[in-house]
């Protein structure tokens, strides 16, 4: 019996101990739950290590307390986990630190995470967390001290409950997409030391309480789009930075860069930031002078105020900042001289470009031995560089002095600054020769010395500085254009660095031959030696340059043939060999270069036929073979060059007919075939080249008539068919109204108007035949008219049905034509409060409103006390109900009763073109302005030509052009618009538009036509690119905006100063494009409505201008690598 009892006791003990193996503690259960939420464990860390049978305190990443019963820390950072965070983490009641950074954890954050009483540190940075932060954060007396959520995909507003984490010292939320405003309660975080909000979309007012933490010493809000906003009656305007920011004695770092901060840093601010080491306010809208209090921040090491609108001089007190390492005042409006006290600092970086500084650069600056880089570009500095330039700058790596008025020689001592990588002194007045000691700069990568008066050493006919540059083995760019060298390229050019990518030396009086060794420069992709005095042949070794993209050798004295080796350059896009003395045939293999887009071989001595392979290069944009001795026929394949814009075959010996297929070259705007032996008729297909501007077929043997189809060439501004054998009547429509007799000289068979100095055309019919025609028409004309009317009626009925169908489909939106009650609009606009008021016009007011479903709208309320308000309401309703276009304001609904009329319109968050043009807070770049004007032209073209009933806007001006969130323009305000009936082309009105924008016939006679809108558009076009209102005081006398632009076109000074900064590499392209735009505006502003172009023409020309502008910018971007100093 005793034995039996003992047996059962042993069995029972075994069972109890076995069952305890499978008893899990709450912490271990929570950890295993966390493991189950990890969907990808590429290193098998959890799979192999976190097992039920092992001690959890020995698991990777787990730390426990002394009793080995509770988890106190969890560190699973950088494990490449994928998955989500299990809500079971809340069961780890003793957890003080959670670190899951640098994984791929996704999903939302569990609420419980922020209400764990023991948790002090949460680091979930660099994951893929998304959604909003939990609403109830830190509501359970959280003792959280550090929260790191940077570099995730979190969004929404930062919940106010976060500010209940009173013990927070570190808060990092940067690199997410948080939006909304910071609540005032952030001031509750009185222990906060570090705050990182960079790269979010936070906006609104920063309250003074934000900076009330006595411990705060690092604030970073880089690129948060933050702006200080106060409410004004009509506009959202900017205000000053809260003075409390500079009264936090513990603050060490302030980074508010790349926002929309504005206003003045007041001189009354008490700068109580003795520990401040880093202040970055770059890329804002701040104005005024630098306050004197800033110079008292003795520990400051980094000061960046670049890209603001600061004015005044740079104070000598800057010398007080003895610890300053980086000073960046780039792109402001500072004036006066650069204080010598800067030279007493141990600066490492000094940037003052794009200001209005003048005087000599202080000698002391060149004694800052710690200086690594400086940039003084685009100022008005003058004088010489000191002879000891490089002696005291042993650490200098980059410097830029472009666009000043510096003179004298380049100091030989420059070569003592042995760490230099970039030397840039473009567009100054330096003279003398380039030092032949630059080879000491073994790290030199880029040498920019263009646009000076540099020459060669008098003791040599060669440019000897190239000998020294062969020692610069990292050199990738040499820019020495627009100088006066009067010397030859030495053979040692072939020994330059194999890293060399760009050689640019155009228009520099370079003589001699192109060195054979140039083929050794294996990385070269741009060779620009045009407009020099080069002789000899193009070396065949050029074929080794397998990365070559652009060759510019035009305007020299090169001879010999075009080497076949050029065809080995498979990346070649541009080949310019014009104006040389090249002979022989055009290599057939050029047509096989896959990227060739521009081929200019004009003004040489080339012979034979054009190779057939060339016509297969369908991507050609420019082809100029003029002034050679080429012969043969123009092939049918010429019509396949659909991308070509310029084609010049003049002054050759081409014969045969002009192929009818030429009409397929749809992009042509320049076609010159003059001085050949072409014969046969002018092909009517030329009329399909809608963008053609230049057409010259003079001095050939062409016969037949001038095709009437050419009347459709709206942009044609030069036409010459003189010295041919043409006959018949000269067309009178389209561009032919503008051509003179010079276009038709020596064509004896032509006839036309007396002004053309050709014979008069004979009468087209005799009286006898005329009477027969009259009898015939007497009986047939009524039948024809009746038939036409029947067809027209049937067409209109079908069109009206189609419109009804379209309207029914489009009006299926949630708000489509549901009448809103007055009470609903009252609620939406907060009782039509002033805080919601956007603007006031002559017939009413516009308010911002928010409908019950959250949709933000604009509510236009008509003032029924004004005469004409009802008529205006009806007109705008009529127009907006019946139009649909992406560039017209969309009408959502309306509200109307006996004494109240309102329209509910689509909300435009970016305001009006008026604000963007004439407010200092905003600035449109060149392309944005061009796109906006294309949008406006599209809207007017639709109203004039694409509506069943043409609509005339009658009041086009900047305030009636609204900008949406994507910077797309929408034309609005149709209160005085006119609808023309089917048979009408003009109407009369007593309602005035806006002075300065009205067409002359509109104000004097009340005549309304589509061409009146064209006139207003022309004024708008000028205002957009000059930023001058037509009503400014300078235009109050005889001088108008139109006259002012017209008189100053050649100087390009009328272009808005914000668009022509001196250091802008795209400035020449902008000026050229602006000239085309201003010429277009002049065509819109002809005094006679009949002479003005229509909006379809305007739109087509703008698209063409934009294409050419983008092409030129792309060429420049490809040719020149950007460099930063």
pLDDT score for 812 = 33
Count the neighbouring beta carbons within 10 Å of the beta carbon of residue 1003. Answer: 13
Higher pLDDT, 799 or 1073: 1073
- Kindly report, residue by residue over 971-1020, the tens digit of the pLDDT: 988 766 665 543 344 444 444 568 888 888 765 556 678 888 999 999 99
How open is the CA angle 558-564-565, to the nearest 5 degrees? 90
Percentage of the chain beyond pLDDT 70 is 84
User: What's the average model confidence in pLDDT over 1052-1071?
Assistant: 79
**Going by CATH, does the domain composed of 24-180 fall within 3.40.190.10?**
no
pLDDT score for 906 = 87
Retrieve residue 838's tokens: 């956007």
pLDDT score for 648 = 94
**Going by CATH, does the domain composed of 911-1125 fall within 3.20.20.80?**
no
Of the candidates 530, 526, 481, the residue with the CA atom closest to the CA atom of residue 502: 526
- Kindly report, residue by residue over 270-327, the tens digit of the pLDDT: 788 888 899 989 888 899 999 998 999 999 999 999 989 999 999 999 999 999 999 9
pLDDT score for 4 = 52
Long-range contacts of 913-918 (CB under 8 A, 24+ apart): 913/958, 913/959, 913/961, 913/962, 913/963, 913/969, 913/1024, 914/957, 914/958, 914/959, 914/961, 915/235, 916/963, 917/958, 917/1023, 917/1024, 917/1027, 918/958, 918/1027, 918/1029
Tokens 């969004």 belong to 155
pLDDT score for 1072 = 80
pLDDT score for 330 = 93
Position 401 confidence tier, pLDDT thresholds 50, 70, 90: very high
Exposure string for 928-956, b = 16+ CB within 10 A, e = fewer:
ebbbbbbbbbbbbbbbbeebeebbbbbbb
Does residue 19 register a pLDDT over 50?
no
Q: Which fold has domain 809-907?
A: Phosphorylase Kinase; domain 1 (3.30.200)
- Kindly report, residue by residue over 672-695, the tens digit of the pLDDT: 999 999 999 999 999 999 889 889
Does residue 1068 register a pLDDT over 60?
yes
pLDDT score for 1020 = 95
User: What's the average model confidence in pLDDT over 151-161?
Assistant: 89
Burial class (CB in 10 A: 0-12, 13-18, 19+), 67: exposed
Higher pLDDT, 788 or 103: 103
Does residue 354 register a pLDDT over 50?
yes
Count the neighbouring beta carbons within 10 Å of the beta carbon of residue 60. Answer: 13
Mean pLDDT over each residue of the chain, to the nearest integer: 83
Does residue 861 register a pLDDT over 50?
yes
Stated pTM of the model: 0.61
- Please tell me the distance from the alpha carbon of residue 610 to that of residue 654, in angstroms, as a whole number: 10
User: What's the average model confidence in pLDDT over 136-144?
Assistant: 76
Higher pLDDT, 844 or 587: 587
DSSP state of 896: E
Q: Where are the domains of the chain?
A: 24-180, 193-207+218-310, 329-420, 809-907, 911-1125
Q: What is the CATH number of domain 329-420?
A: 3.80.10.10
pLDDT score for 713 = 93
Of the candidates 889, 899, 813, the residue with the CA atom closest to the CA atom of residue 857: 889
pLDDT score for 1006 = 60
Retrieve residue 59's tokens: 């698991």
Catalytic entry in 955, 973, 1013, 1056: 955
Concerning whether 955 is annotated as a catalytic residue, the answer is yes
Retrieve residue 50's tokens: 């976190």
**Is there a shared CATH topology between the 193-207+218-310 domain and the 329-420 domain?**
yes
DSSP state of 943: I
- Please tell me the distance from the alpha carbon of residue 956 to that of residue 937, in angstroms, as a whole number: 11
Does residue 1111 register a pLDDT over 80?
no
Count the neighbouring beta carbons within 10 Å of the beta carbon of residue 518. Answer: 23
Does residue 399 register a pLDDT over 70?
yes
- Kindly report, residue by residue over 521-575, the tens digit of the pLDDT: 999 999 999 989 999 999 999 999 999 999 999 989 999 999 999 999 999 999 9
Does residue 1105 register a pLDDT over 60?
yes
User: What's the average model confidence in pLDDT over 848-860?
Assistant: 87
- Please tell me the distance from the alpha carbon of residue 945 to that of residue 954, in angstroms, as a whole number: 15
CA 654 and chain centroid, separation: 45
- Please tell me the distance from the alpha carbon of residue 90 to that of residue 112, in angstroms, as a whole number: 6
pLDDT score for 1047 = 80
- Kindly report, residue by residue over 435-489, the tens digit of the pLDDT: 999 999 999 999 999 999 999 988 889 999 999 999 999 999 999 998 999 999 9
Of the candidates 519, 595, 503, the residue with the CA atom closest to the CA atom of residue 553: 503
Does residue 800 register a pLDDT over 70?
no
pLDDT score for 1121 = 39
Radius of gyration of the chain (CA): 38
Which H/E stretch holds residue 786? helix 767-810
Superfamily of domain 193-207+218-310: Ribonuclease Inhibitor (3.80.10.10)
- Please tell me the distance from the alpha carbon of residue 178 to that of residue 200, in angstroms, as a whole number: 5
Find the range with the poorest average confidence among 28-37, 493-502, 1082-1091. Answer: 1082-1091
pLDDT score for 698 = 93
Percentage of the chain beyond pLDDT 90 is 51
Does residue 715 register a pLDDT over 50?
yes
pLDDT score for 255 = 81
Of the candidates 412, 524, 409, 408, the residue with the CA atom closest to the CA atom of residue 468: 412
pLDDT score for 899 = 76
């Amino acid at each position: 019996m005793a034995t039996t009892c003992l047996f059962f006791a042993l069995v029972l003990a075994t069972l109890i101990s076995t069952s305890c193996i499978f008893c899990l503690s709450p912490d271990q259960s929570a950890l295993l739950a966390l493991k189950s939420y990890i969907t990808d464990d590429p290193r098998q860390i959890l799979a192999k290590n976190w097992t039920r049978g092992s001690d959890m305190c020995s698991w990777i990443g787990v730390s426990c307390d002394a009793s080995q019963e509770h988890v106190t820390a969890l560190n699973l950072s950088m494990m490449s986990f994928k998955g989500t965070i299990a809500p079971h983490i809340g069961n780890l009641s003793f957890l003080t630190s959670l670190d899951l950074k640098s994984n791929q954890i996704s999903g939302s954050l569990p609420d419980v995470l922020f209400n764990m009483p023991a948790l002090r540190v949460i680091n979930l940075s660099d994951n893929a967390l998304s959604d909003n932060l939990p609403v109830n954060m830190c509501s359970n007396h959280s003792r959280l001290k550090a929260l790191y959520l940077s570099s995730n995909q979190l969004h929404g507003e930062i919940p106010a409950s976060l500010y209940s984490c009173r013990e927070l010292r570190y808060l990092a939320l940067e690199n997410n997409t948080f939006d909304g405003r910071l609540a005032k309660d952030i001031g509750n975080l009185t222990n906060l030391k570090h705050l990182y909000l960079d790269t979010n979309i936070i906006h609104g007012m920063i309250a003074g309480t934000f900076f009330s933490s006595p411990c705060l010493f690092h604030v970073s809000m880089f690129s948060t789009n933050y702006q200080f906003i106060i409410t004004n009656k009509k506009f959202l305007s900017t205000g000053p930075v809260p003075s409390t920011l500079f009264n936090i004695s513990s603050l060490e770092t302030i980074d508010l860069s790349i926002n929309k901060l504005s206003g003045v840093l007041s001189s009354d601010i008490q700068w109580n930031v003795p520990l401040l080491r880093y202040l970055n306010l770059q890329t804002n809208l701040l104005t005024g002078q630098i306050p004197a209090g800033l110079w008292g921040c003795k520990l400051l090491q980094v000061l960046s105020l670049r890209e603001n609108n600061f004015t005044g001089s740079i104070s000598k007190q800057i010398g007080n900042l003895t610890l300053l390492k980086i000073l960046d005042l780039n792109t402001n409006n500072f004036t006066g001289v650069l204080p010598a006290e800067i030279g007493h600092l141990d600066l490492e970086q000094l940037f003052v470009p794009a200001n209005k500084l003048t005087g000599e650069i202080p000698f002391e600056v060149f004694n800052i031995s710690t200086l690594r880089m400086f940039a003084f570009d685009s100022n008005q500095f003058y004088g010489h560089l000191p002879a000891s330039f490089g002696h005291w700058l042993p650490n200098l790596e980059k410097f830029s002095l472009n666009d000043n008025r510096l003179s004298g020689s380049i100091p030989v001592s420059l070569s003592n600054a042995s760490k230099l990588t970039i030397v840039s002194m473009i567009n100054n007045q330096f003279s003398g020769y380039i030092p032949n000691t630059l080879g000491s700069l073994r790290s030199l990568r880029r040498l920019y010395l263009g646009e000076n008066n540099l020459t060669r050493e008098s003791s040599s006919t060669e440019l000897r500085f190239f000998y020294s540059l062969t020692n610069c083995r990292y050199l990738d760019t040499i820019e020495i254009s627009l100088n006066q060298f009067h010397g030859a390229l030495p053979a040692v050019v072939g020994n330059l660095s194999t890293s060399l990518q760009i050689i640019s030396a155009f228009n520099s009086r370079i003589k001699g031959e192109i060195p054979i060794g140039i083929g050794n420069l294996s990385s070269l992709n741009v060779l620009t030696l045009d407009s020099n005095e080069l002789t000899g042949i193009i070396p065949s070794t050029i074929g080794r340059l397998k990365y070559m993209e652009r060759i510019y050798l035009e305007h020299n004295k090169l001879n010999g043939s075009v080497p076949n080796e050029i065809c080995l350059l498979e990346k070649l896009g541009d080949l310019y060999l014009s104006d040389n003395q090249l002979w022989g045939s055009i290599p057939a293999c050029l047509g096989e270069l896959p990227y060739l887009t521009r081929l200019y071989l004009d003004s040489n001595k080339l012979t034979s036929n054009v190779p057939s392979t060339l016509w297969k290069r369908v991507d050609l944009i420019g082809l100029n073979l003029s002034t050679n001795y080429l012969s043969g026929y123009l092939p049918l394949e010429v019509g396949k060059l659909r991308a070509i814009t310029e084609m010049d075959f003049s002054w050759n010996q081409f014969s045969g007919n002009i192929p009818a297929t030429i009409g397929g070259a749809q992009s042509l705007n320049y076609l010159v075939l003059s001085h050949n032996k072409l014969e046969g008729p002018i092909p009517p297909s030329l009329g399909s080249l809608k963008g053609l501007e230049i057409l010259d077929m003079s001095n050939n043997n062409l016969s037949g008539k001038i095709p009437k189809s050419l009347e459709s060439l709206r942009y044609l501004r030069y036409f010459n068919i003189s010295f041919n054998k043409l006959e018949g009547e000269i067309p009178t429509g389209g561009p032919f109204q503008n051509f003179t007799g010079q276009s038709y000289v020596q064509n004896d068979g032509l006839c036309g108007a007396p002004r053309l100095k050709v014979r008069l055309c004979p009468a087209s019919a005799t009286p006898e035949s005329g009477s027969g025609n009259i009898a015939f028409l007497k009986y047939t004309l009524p039948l024809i008219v009746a038939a036409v009317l029947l067809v027209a009626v049937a067409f209109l009925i079908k069109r009206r049905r189609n419109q009804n169908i379209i309207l029914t489909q489009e009006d299926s939106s949630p708000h489509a034509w549901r009448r809103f009650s007055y009470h609903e609009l009252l609620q939406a606009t907060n009782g039509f409060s002033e805080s919601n008021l956007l603007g006031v016009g002559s017939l009413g007011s516009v308010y911002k409103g928010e409908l019950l479903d959250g949709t933000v709208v604009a509510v236009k309320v008509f003032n029924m006390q004004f005469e004409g308000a009802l008529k205006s309401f009806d007109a705008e309703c009529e127009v907006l109900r019946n139009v649909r276009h992406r560039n017209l304001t969309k009408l959502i609904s309306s509200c109307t009763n006996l004494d109240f009329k309102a329209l509910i319109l689509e909300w435009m968050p970016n305001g009006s073109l008026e604000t963007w043009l004439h407010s200092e807070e905003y600035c449109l770049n060149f392309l944005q302005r061009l796109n906006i004007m294309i949008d406006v032209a599209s809207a007017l073209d639709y109203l004039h030509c694409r509506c069943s009933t043409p609509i005339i806007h009658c009041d086009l001006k900047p305030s009636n052009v609204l900008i949406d969130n994507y910077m797309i323009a929408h034309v609005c305000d149709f209160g005085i618009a006119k609808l023309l009936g089917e048979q009408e082309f003009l109407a009369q009105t007593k309602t005035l538009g806006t002075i300065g924008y009205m067409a002359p016939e509109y104000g004097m006679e009340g005549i309304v036509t589509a061409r009146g809108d064209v006139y207003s558009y022309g004024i708008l076009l000028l205002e957009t690119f000059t930023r001058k209102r037509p009503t400014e005081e300078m235009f109050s006398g005889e001088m108008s905006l139109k006259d002012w632009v017209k008189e100053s076109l050649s100087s390009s000074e009328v272009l808005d100063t914000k668009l022509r900064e001196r250091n802008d590499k795209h400035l020449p392209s902008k000026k050229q494009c602006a000239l085309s735009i201003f010429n277009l505006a002049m065509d819109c502003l002809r005094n006679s409505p009949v002479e003005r172009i229509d909006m379809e023409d305007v739109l087509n020309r703008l698209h063409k201008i934009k294409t050419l502008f983008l092409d030129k910018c792309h060429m420049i971007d490809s040719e020149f690598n950007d460099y930063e100093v």
